Amino acid sequence: MKNIFTLIFVVTVLSSFSQKIDFDKFFENKTMRVDYSHVGNNKSEDFYLKEIKEEPFWGGSHKNLIDTFFYGGFMINIYDKATNKLIYSRGFNSLFQEWQSTVEAQKVQKSFYEVAVFPYPKNDIIFEISVRNKKGGFNSKFQTEINPSDYFIKKEKVKQWETFDVVNNGEPAEKVDIVFIFDGYTKNEQDKLVADAKRFAGYFFDYSPFKENKEKFNIHAIKLISEESGTDIPKKNIWKNTAVNTTFYTFDSERYLTTSDIKSLRDIASLVPYDQIFLIVNTEKYGGGGIYNYWSITCADDVLAKYVFLHEFGHGFGGLADEYYNDDVTIEDYYPADVEPWEPNITNLVNFNKKQWSKMINTNTPRPTPPEEKYYKTIGLFEGGGYMAKGMYRPYYKCEMKTLMVGYCPVCNKAILDMINFYSE
């Protein structure tokens, strides 16, 4: 019985996907936002509702409403209450999930602020958060009924920062909409902010598969003003008053640049239609971060910022795993040895046949694939990835998810292209 919900969920998803969801029947073209606390330690977690908000724009697809990738450690499911029909779903990761794998999580409990967004329903819904279980499926963890006409749903406007389009190719429902949010840029640095927006958009379209699909993207930017320039560097006792409170040394990792101020971040993002949030932080210090369907972050002015940007977007948008190993990371036992990782670019061979890349390997390529020069441009099974030197495999000798400045490998390229098409149909 322990996997019965997973079976029901998969059958419901496949049924909903095969029928397609009529957006206009179930939704309005704006956003419902559910804010909640994600609380727990390394062994347990719970979710507590904080508030529900109405936001003016919906940036997502009107056609592909049901998640077909099954990426992420969590899944948001929206059911029409009257029929119990699944009408929207999205997988995601969170900073809480990463924190659970730290030593600190073995000692204390913490609460993280999180947000779920989905198109605004016309009728009563059941909002559900499901958690990936130890066998790789999903179990329902939190449910609540929502009446979209409830007068307690907040409608107040957030502070109206100036916005501008860096790239505009058409209707948000038919494009991948990225919002650039800037942290640590003062009032006197707004010219730099605009220049950085154009610079990073240029970086983005320098690489495949983005340059070949530029017409499928919109990039919006927000002229966000911080009181102080830069960002927090706790180990050097540097603390800056910035708009979304970014910081280095997340989980005591020097280069891990993040924010946990999700409420402020999402309030700001709501000024434009968006699918993905990308934070650009006004610092020369090397670092960044990327969490699937949560946010991606890069430093603005390090010499490698261009490549950090690309790498982190691979996490945040494509659900790609880190392929490096023997590195200074602060997470422990992140991937169970007996469950195939959900990320499309690593495998522990538990169920490799479910990976798309299993069909991309030439029959003459040895498995595992030796790290020899003759295989450097070959799709195969190279040992080392997901922070593990042994027992985990990646598809290519070098890829942007392992080594900066080389671009995505064919497998990661295809995974991102699949996601682009999903959001832009």
303 pLDDT more than 70: yes
| Three-state SS at 422 | helix
pLDDT of 418: 98
Tens of pLDDT, residue by residue over 369-382, are 999 999 999 999 99
pLDDT band of residue 24 (cuts 50, 70, 90) is very high
pLDDT band of residue 346 (cuts 50, 70, 90) is very high
pLDDT of 2: 38
Provide the sign of the torsion angle of the four alpha carbons 58, 59, 63, 65, taken in this order.
negative
141 pLDDT more than 90: yes
| Structure token pair of residue 123 | 């009728």
Stronger pLDDT, 326 or 208, i.e. the higher one: 208
Three state DSSP letters for 157-226: CCCCCCEEEEECCCCHHHCEEEEEEEECCCHHHHHHHHHHHHHHHHHHCCCCCCHHHHHHEEEEEECCCC
What stretch of H or E contains 411?
helix 410-424
Distance of CA 207 to the CA centre of its chain: 19
- Alpha-carbon distance of 110 to 104, in angstroms, equals 10
pLDDT band of residue 425 (cuts 50, 70, 90) is confident
pLDDT band of residue 6 (cuts 50, 70, 90) is very low
pTM (2 decimals)? 0.94
- Alpha-carbon distance of 156 to 55, in angstroms, equals 9
Provide the sign of the torsion angle of the four alpha carbons 167, 168, 174, 180, taken in this order.
positive
279 pLDDT more than 90: yes
- Alpha-carbon distance of 141 to 138, in angstroms, equals 9
pLDDT of 334: 78
Q: In what order do the strands lie in the sheet with 288-291?
A: 163-167, 217-222, 176-183, 276-281, 295-299, 288-291
9 pLDDT more than 90: no
Q: In what order do the strands lie in the sheet with 110-121?
A: 45-55, 27-40, 110-121
Round the average pLDDT of the chain to a whole number and report it.
94
- The residue ranges of every structural domain in the chain are 4-146, 163-316, 352-424
pLDDT of 333: 66
Query: How confident is the model over 108-118, as a mean pLDDT?
Result: 98
N residues, the chain: 425
Tens of pLDDT, residue by residue over 41-84, are 999 999 999 999 999 999 999 999 999 999 999 999 999 999 99
pLDDT band of residue 30 (cuts 50, 70, 90) is very high
The fold of 163-316 is Collagenase (Catalytic Domain) (3.40.390)
CATH of domain 4-146: 2.60.40.3250
pLDDT band of residue 328 (cuts 50, 70, 90) is low
pLDDT of 62: 97
DSSP 369: P
Residues 6+ apart with CB under 8 A from 311: 288, 290, 400, 401, 404
Tens of pLDDT, residue by residue over 173-205, are 999 999 999 999 999 999 999 999 999 999 999
Burial class (CB in 10 A: 0-12, 13-18, 19+), 88: buried
| Structure token pair of residue 106 | 């073995």
332 pLDDT more than 50: yes
Which residues does residue 157 pair with via DSSP β-bridges, in sequence order? none
The amino acid present at 351, given as its one-letter code, is: N
pLDDT of 5: 44
331 pLDDT more than 80: no
